[in-house]
Amino acid sequence: MGICNTDDMQIVFSDTPGILKPNYKLQESMLNFSRSALTDADILLYVTDVVETPAQNSEFIEIVSRQTVPVLALINKIDLTNQEKLTELVETWQEKLPKAEIIPISAIAQFNINYVLKRVEELLPDSPPYFDKSQWTDKPARFFVSEIFREKILLYYDKEVPYSVEVSVESFKEEAKIIRIETVIYVERESQKGIIIGKAGKALKKVATEARRDLERFFGKKIYLKTFVKVDKDWRSSDKELRNFGYQLD
C-alpha cells in the first residue's frame, strides 16, 4: 500500500497482483488480496499497456466491468506505438469496458500522469485522511528490504526462477550509522539454489551488491548485509510458511 498526500487530498493506493486461477496456496493468498482490494476501493485504476490485449486478461476484465465504482483504464507505454494503433487500442478497450474512462499514458515520459491524479482527486469521495499526512506507506522497513531483493532477482534471473523465490528478512538491526540485515532467499529446488548462487557465488554477490546499494539510498545509512539461500520445496503450498512470509490466507 502506498500513500500520496497533497495539501488537499490523500490517496491510498492498494496494488493487486491480478486475478488468476489459483494452483497452490500462494496464488490463493494473492487472489484473496485482490478480491479484498476491489471490494474496498473507491476508484479502480486498471493498468494495461500497448502490448496487452483484452483477450489476454479476459477473466479479470470481466470482474472489472462489473464494478460499481468509477474505473479508469490506463494504457501505458504509448511512447512505443503510433497514433493510429493507439486509437484502435483505445476503441478496443472502450468496447470491453464501456463504463470506464480510457486514458493513454506513458509512465516513463510522465505523459498524462498529472491528469490521472487530477481525475482521481475529482472522483474521490469526501473523507478525513485515513493515515497521518507524514505517512507514505503502511509497510514496515523489512517489507522494503524484501521488495528490493525481489526486484534484483526479477532483473537478473530467467523468468522461471523469480516466481519460485521468496525473500525473508531474518534480522533487521538499526544502529546510529549502520543497519545490519540478514536475509534468506528461499527456492523450491536445489537446481534453483545453484542458479541463484551462480558459479563461485558470483550471481548472488551481484544481486546482494545491487540490493545493498539501493537499500543504502533508501534508508540513508550504511548497510551491512548477509544473504543466504535455502531450499524449501513446499513453501508456496504451506500455510505456515506463507504466514511467516506475511501472506494473508483467510
* Cα–Cα distance for residue pair 233/45, rounded to 1 Å: 36
The pLDDT tens digits of the residues spanning 72-119 come to 999 999 999 999 999 999 999 999 999 999 999 999 999 999 999 999
Question: What is the set of domains in the chain, with CATH numbers?
Answer: 2-123 (3.40.50.300), 141-244 (3.30.300.20)
* Cα–Cα distance for residue pair 46/75, rounded to 1 Å: 9
Neighbour tally for 53: CB within 10 Å = 13
pTM: 0.61
* Cα–Cα distance for residue pair 43/9, rounded to 1 Å: 14
List the single range of 66-75, 160-169, 212-221 with lowest mean pLDDT: 160-169
The pLDDT tens digits of the residues spanning 173-227 come to 999 999 999 999 998 889 999 999 999 999 999 999 999 999 999 999 999 999 9
* Cα–Cα distance for residue pair 180/199, rounded to 1 Å: 26
194 alpha-carbon distance from chain centroid:
26
